[in-house]
Amino acid sequence: MAAEATSVPMWASVNGHLSPAAEAVIPALDRGFLFGDAVYEVFSTREGRPLFWAEHLARLQHSARRTGVDPARIDGPKLLAEVRALCACLASPEAYVRLMLSRGVSLDLGLDPPADLTPSRVIYARPLTPVPATLKAEGCALMTTIVPRRDDGQLVAKTSSRQGAITERAAARAAGAYEALRIDRLGRVLEGATSTLFAVRDGEVLTPPLSLGVLDGITRRHVLQAARALGLGVHESVIPASQLRRLDEVFICSSTRGVVPVRAIDGHPFAAPGPVTARLSAAYEAAVDSHLG
C-alpha cells in the first residue's frame, strides 16, 4: 500500500507491507517472536535519508552471519527502498528507525531452525525525539552495573534479545540516572546499556576496546575518526572501573543521540560538557552534515 505523510505517531513495514504500527502483525510462529531469533539495527534519518546506511547494512549482515543466517539473503536495495517508503509515511524528515530481521516463520517449535526459512523484515519508524537541550548543555548521570560479558575478541551481533538492557536501564532510571554503565566481573568498563562510552584523560580520548565484547557502534567509529582528525590522542584500551574518578571528562554516544556529555557517574561529578567533549560533539555533527552532502 502507498501512504502519504500523516500525523500517525509510528509506522511499520512488515515484509514490505506498510501500516500504522499499532495495526502491524507478524505470524505467531515467527522465530523472532518465539525465541528472539532476530538481529536488528537502529539508526536515524536526516532530511529524510538514513544516516550512515551502508555501515548499518554491513553490520546487519555481520550480525546475521554470526547468528547463522546467510547474509546473501539480505537484499540491501530492497531494505533501503522499504525504509524510504516507511519514512515517507511520517510527517517528519527526521526519524528514529528500528530494522529487525528475524530468521523467519517455522512450524517446528524446536530450537534448531530449518535451513530453508525466508527471513522476515520488520521495520518501525517514528519521528525522532531530539535529545533534551539540558542533557547536551549540562550532561547526564550514569549508574554502574555489574554484568556478565563475553571476552572472545569477536564483534558481537546485535540480536533482538534486549532483556538485559531493559532491566539495567530500569534500575538506573529508578536511581535517578539517565543510563546504566556496564562493568564486567573483572572490574572493566564496557559500555552503556544503549550507548558507547568515551572518556578524556589529560587531553586524550579513551574508549573500551572491541576485544571486551562491546558493540562496534557506528557512532563510535565516527567519533574515533573525528578525534583523530582533530589531532587528539586516541586509545582503545581497558578502563578499570576503579579509575573512573580519575577521568577528566566522560561522554556517551549512539546513533539516535549523537554525543551526550556525562555530568556524574555514581554521584561523582565531571565537567559537562568538557572542552574535548564539546569539540568532538561539534566534529561529529559536522561529519553528519558532510555525509548528507
46-52: which pairs have CB atoms within 8 A and are 24 or more residues apart? 46/93, 46/94, 46/288, 46/292, 47/93, 47/94, 47/292, 48/84, 48/87, 48/88, 48/93, 49/292, 50/80, 50/83, 50/84, 50/97, 51/255, 51/288, 51/291, 51/292, 52/218, 52/222, 52/255, 52/291
Q: Residue 88 phi/psi, 5° resolution?
A: -65, -20
pLDDT in tens, 20-60: 999 999 999 999 999 999 999 999 999 889 999 999 999 99
CATH 3.30.470.10 residue spans of the chain: 11-127
3-state SS, 179-201, equals EEEEECCCCEEEEECCEEEEEEE
pLDDT in the model for residue 153: 46
pLDDT in the model for residue 4: 53
In terms of phi and psi (left: phi > 0; alpha: psi -120 to 50; beta: otherwise), the region of 203 is left
> pTM score, two decimals?
0.89
3.30.470.10, 3.40.50.450, 3.30.465.10, 3.40.1160.10: which CATH number matches 11-127?
A: 3.30.470.10
Average the pLDDT over each of 32-36, 206-210, 280-284 and give the range with the smallest value: 32-36
pLDDT in tens, 69-89: 888 889 999 999 999 999 999
CATH superfamily of 133-292: D-amino Acid Aminotransferase, subunit A, domain 2 (3.20.10.10)
